[in-house]
């Protein structure tokens, strides 16, 4: 049964500015595994990568109805399966199915999360 839906959209130039301006931004938003992958990306891909994960984590927080606070950015991790499709693991939400979609354009990243109880 669906128990939550969340969506978030973010401007890539906003994320790019945060990456350049705040050395701690990446550490606050990305888990250690996400940071390792981030380090191997081109500068342009780094912006898309962070924006997509930021949007995904915000979308999850909206799906649970609390926003960031009930869960932290570090409690949520976006991983790619063998086909490259993203999925999400969230500390404390192992009993839920989490469906995630992330997309990018030249100027935006958007993510959608559907949260479902397992029956």
82 Cβ contact partners less than 8 Å away, ≥ 6 residues apart: none
Q: What is the pLDDT of residues 6-25, one digit of tens each?
A: 999 999 999 999 999 988 99
Most confident of 58-62, 90-94, 115-119: 58-62
Mean pLDDT along residues 98-116? 97
**CATH superfamily of the 2-117 domain:** 4'-phosphopantetheinyl transferase domain (3.90.470.20)
Q: What is the pLDDT of residues 29-66, one digit of tens each?
A: 999 999 999 999 998 899 999 999 999 999 999 999 98
Q: Pick the catalytic residue from 37, 74, 89, 104.
A: 104
83 included as an active-site residue: no
HEC string of 45-86?
HHHHHHHHHHHHHHHHHHHCCCCECCECHHHEEEEECCCCCE
**CA–CA gap between residue 50 and residue 38 (Å, rounded):** 8
Catalytic: which of 62, 74, 89, 106? 62
Per-residue CA distances from 17 to 1, 23, 25 (Å): 39, 11, 10
Residue 40 annotated in active site: no
pTM, whole model, 2 decimals?
0.94
């Amino acid at each position: 049964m669906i128990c939550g839906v969340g969506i978030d959209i973010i401007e890539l130039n906003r994320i790019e500015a945060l990456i350049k301006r705040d050395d701690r931004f990446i550490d606050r938003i990305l888990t250690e595994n996400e940071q390792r992958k981030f380090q191997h990306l081109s500068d342009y891909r780094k912006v898309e990568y962070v924006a997509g994960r930021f949007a995904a984590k915000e979308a999850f927080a909206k799906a649970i109805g609390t926003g960031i606070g009930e869960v932290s950015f570090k409690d949520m991790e976006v991983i790619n399966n063998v086909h490259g499709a993203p999925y999400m693991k969230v500390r404390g939400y192992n009993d839920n199915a989490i469906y995630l979609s992330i997309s990018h354009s030249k100027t935006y990243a958007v993510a959608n999360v559907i949260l479902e109880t397992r029956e």
